[in-house]
Structure 1
Amino acid sequence: MTKAPAWTVRHAGPDDASALALVGAATFLETFAGAIDGPAIVAHCAANHAAESYAGLFAKGAQAWLGEVEGGAPVGYALIAKPELDAARPGDIELKRIYTLSRYHGSGLGGAMMAAAVAGASGHERLLLGVKADNHRAIAFYRKQGFDPIATRQFNVGGKLYDDLVLARPLA
Structure 2
Amino acid sequence: MTSAPPEHDAVRIRRAGADDAAALALAGAATFLETFAGILDGPDIVAHCRNQHAVELYDGWLADPQCVAWLAETVHGAAPVGYALIAPPKLPLADLRADDLELKRIYLLSRFHGGGVGRELMRHAVEQARERGAGRLLLGVYAGNARALAFYARNGFGQVGERRFQVGANVYQDAILALELGA
TM-score (norm 2): 0.90
Deviations 1:117-149 (A, max 9, x none): 111112100000000001000000000001000
Mapping 1:62-81, distance limit 5 Å: 62-70=67-75, 71-81=77-87
Distance in structure 2 (CA, Å) of the matches to 1:77 and 1:42 = 20
Q: Which residue of 2 aligns with 1:108?
A: 116
Q: Look up the SS of the partner of 1:131 in the other structure.
A: strand
- 1:171 and 2:181 aligned: yes
Q: Which residue of 2 aligns with 1:49?
A: 53
Distance in structure 2 (CA, Å) of the matches to 1:10 and 1:139 = 25
Mapping 1:136-151, distance limit 5 Å: 136-151=146-161
User: What amino acid does structure 2 have at the position aligned with 1:169?
Assistant: L
Percent identical among aligned pairs is 56
State the Cα RMSD in Å. 1.2
Deviations 1:68-124 (A, max 9, x none): 111211111000001000123221000010000010010100000000011111210
Distance in structure 1 (CA, Å) of the matches to 2:79 and 2:46 = 23
Give unmatched runs, 5+ long, in structure 2: none
User: Contact 1:40/1:159 (CA < 8 Å) preserved in 2?
Assistant: yes
Mapping 1:93-132, distance limit 5 Å: 93-122=101-130, 123-132=133-142
Give unmatched runs, 5+ long, in structure 1: none
Distance in structure 2 (CA, Å) of the matches to 1:114 and 1:158 = 28
Distance in structure 2 (CA, Å) of the matches to 1:159 and 1:47 = 13
Q: Which residue of 1 aligns with 2:90?
A: 84
Distance in structure 2 (CA, Å) of the matches to 1:53 and 1:14 = 12
User: What amino acid does structure 1 have at the position aligned with 2:49?
Assistant: C
Distance in structure 2 (CA, Å) of the matches to 1:160 and 1:120 = 34
Deviations 1:14-51 (A, max 9, x none): 21000000000000000001111111100000001111
User: Contact 1:13/1:63 (CA < 8 Å) preserved in 2?
Assistant: no
Q: Look up the SS of the partner of 2:161 in the other structure.
A: strand
Counting matched residue pairs gives 171
Distance in structure 1 (CA, Å) of the matches to 2:164 and 2:18 = 29
Moved beyond 2 Å, runs of 4+: 58-61
